[in-house]
Amino acid sequence: TAEYAARLPERSVFVTLVHSGSIRYYTGRDVLRWEWVEPSSLDPAVEYLRARGHDVYVVEDDGDVEGFRRRFANTNTVRDLARTLPADLGGARVYAVAGSAPVLAPPGLAQ
């Protein structure tokens, strides 16, 4: 997942839980651990980051999809994910949040 994240724009911020440490450690990219975000604060946080030129991506691991989707069910961010095709990394999916550069095909797959 970190290897894939390194291929996305340099000013990317990743909203994640399980992959936060590896993305930060191996790429130096910023992460926003979603368990530290109040449900009503997710959309404003994404808007804040986008307004400052960051591309924002949600990284969902198979084990945290349900928790993330339940916690932020009433947000525009989760509604946007339902309309977005992710990059499927086999156990994790990466979604571009509205207004961010689109996700890339995972390595080994045609774009």
Q: Collapse the DSSP code of 55 into the 3-class scheme (helix H, G, I; strand E, B; otherwise coil) and give the result.
A: strand
Tokens of 78: 């989760």
Q: Collapse the DSSP code of 79 into the 3-class scheme (helix H, G, I; strand E, B; otherwise coil) and give the result.
A: helix
Whole-angstrom distance, CA of residue 73 vs CA of residue 108: 33
Amino acid (one-letter) located at 59: V
- pLDDT tens by residue, the chain, 111 residues: 999 999 999 999 999 999 999 999 999 999 999 999 999 999 999 999 999 999 999 999 998 999 999 999 999 999 999 888 899 998 899 999 988 999 987 766 544
Look up the pTM and report it: 0.92
Contacts of 56 (CB under 8 A, 6+ apart): 12, 13, 14, 15, 46, 49, 50, 96, 97, 99, 100
What is residue 104's predicted lDDT score, i.e. its pLDDT?
A: 83
What helix, strand, coil percent values describe the chain, rounded to 5? 40, 20, 40
What is residue 108's predicted lDDT score, i.e. its pLDDT?
A: 62
